[in-house]
Amino acid sequence: MQKSLYLFRSGRLRRKENTLCVEAEEQTRYFPVENVRDIFVFGEVDLSKKTLEFLHEKEILVHFFGFHGNYVGSFYPREHYNSGYLILKQAEHYLDPEKRLVLARQFVAGGLANILQVVKYYANRGKELAATVQVIEDFAAGNLPACGTVEELMAIEGNARNYYYESFNEILSGSPFAIAGRSRRPPADPLNALISFGNSLVYVKVLSEIYKTHLDPRIGYLHATNFRRFTLNLDVAEIFKPILADRVLFTLVGKKMIGPGNFDRQGPAVFLNEEGRRLYVQEFEEKLRSTFYHRRLKRHVSYQTLLRLELYKLEKHLIGEEPYEPFVSRW
C-alpha cells in the first residue's frame, strides 16, 4: 500500500539515486519512492526542478501548504491516464445544463446524507440533535429536489451546513471549544481551524485519486469551472468531508487528544500549530486506512480505496453505463 508523506519540518527534499531523501537539521531520512503516493509539504522545504522531474517520472503529486496550514497549491504531474473519449464525455456533462444539474445534485445529496449519518450517530448517543436532524432532512427531502439551478443547490448546501456546524456545540458539549458559525480565511476559532484544515486535506486526497483516473480535475459540476483551478475534487469532497474530516475532528476533540495548546492565535485568526497538525494528520491517515466490508466488491476496502471507487462510479455515469449514486455511510 502506498503512503502519503507529510513534511512538517524545514529541510530539503531531493532525489538520491532512486530514492526520495529528506534532509533536515536533525536527521536525513530516506523513503522508497515506489511506496509514496503523494507528498504534503507544510514546512519550509527546498526542492529543485530535478526533484520535480523525479516526482513526475514516478507520478507523485506534491501538495503545498502555507505557514498557517492553508492550502497553497499542488504539483500535478502531466496526466498519465488519457482517454479522449472520457474527457469529451466529462465536458458534455458539464456543457449540458440538465446533465450538469443531475451530477451537482448528487454531490449535494451525498453530502447531506452523510451529514445526517454523522448527526444521527450523536443523536442516538443522547445529544439533543432532533431539531438539527429535522432541518437537514427537510433540506435533503424538500428543497433539494426542487432546485432548478446549480446556484440554488449551492445555497441549500450552504444553509444546511450552517445548521450542521451550529450542532457541533451540542456534539462537543463539555469540550473547551465552541463554534459561532462557520468562518474561513481566516478561521476565527479552533473548531473552524480544524474544519478548514480537515476539509483541505480531503480536497487534496481526492485530487490525488483523480490523478489515478481518466477524469480531468478542472471540470467540476457543482463548483463552478473556470478551467484554471481544480474543481472536480471539491465536488467529490462534499460527500466525504462529513465522514472523514468531521469525524476525525470529533474524535480528536471528543477524546481530548487535541486541546487549546494546539492552536496559535494571530489577531482575529486561529490556526493549528505544528503539533496540532501532526495529531490531526495521524488520526486522518488512520481513518483512511481503516476498512469496512464493501457489498458489491465483496471484500474489505479502506476509505482511501473508497475515494477511488467513487471516481470510478462517476466515470461509469459519464460513459452512460450506470447513473451515479453517491456513497452514503451506513453507520
**Contact at 8 Å (CB) between 21 and 55?**
no
Stretch that binds other proteins, among 15-23, 263-271, 274-282, 319-327 (CB under 8 A): 319-327
- 124 to 113, 130, 135, 171, 251: CA distances (angstroms): 16, 10, 17, 11, 17
* Interacting positions 89-108 with other proteins (CB under 8 A): 89, 92
Rounded CA-CA distance 219/227 in Å is 7
Residues in region 197-226 near other proteins by CB under 8 A:
212, 214
The distance of closest approach from Cβ of residue 211 to other proteins in the complex, given in angstroms and rounded to an integer, is 11
**Shortest Cβ distance from residue 212 to other proteins (Å)?**
7
Give dist(CA 3, CA 34) in Å, integer.
9
By the rule CB under 8 A, 36 interacts with other proteins: no
Stretch that binds other proteins, among 13-21, 44-52, 149-157, 314-322 (CB under 8 A): 314-322
Amino acid residing at 186 = P
Q: Which residue has the cell 455515469?
A: 317
25 labeled part of a ligand binding site:
no
H/E element holding 16? strand 11-16
- The residue count for binding other proteins (CB under 8 A) is 27
Spatial contact of 219 and 89, defined as CB atoms under 8 Å apart:
no
Q: How far is the CB of 68 from other proteins (least distance, A)?
A: 34
**Cis-peptide into 260, omega within 30 deg:** no
In whole angstroms, how close is the CB of 46 to other proteins at the nearest point?
29
Question: Which of 171/314 has CB closer to other proteins?
Answer: 314
Q: Which of 21, 33, 52, 86 binds other proteins (CB under 8 A)?
A: 86
Neighbour-count burial of 24, counting CB atoms closer than 10 A to its CB (0-12 exposed, 13-18 middle, 19+ buried): middle
Q: Does 330 bind other proteins (CB under 8 A)?
A: no
Binding residues vs other proteins (CB under 8 A): 2, 80-86, 88-89, 92, 212, 214, 296-298, 305, 308-310, 312-313, 315-316, 319-321
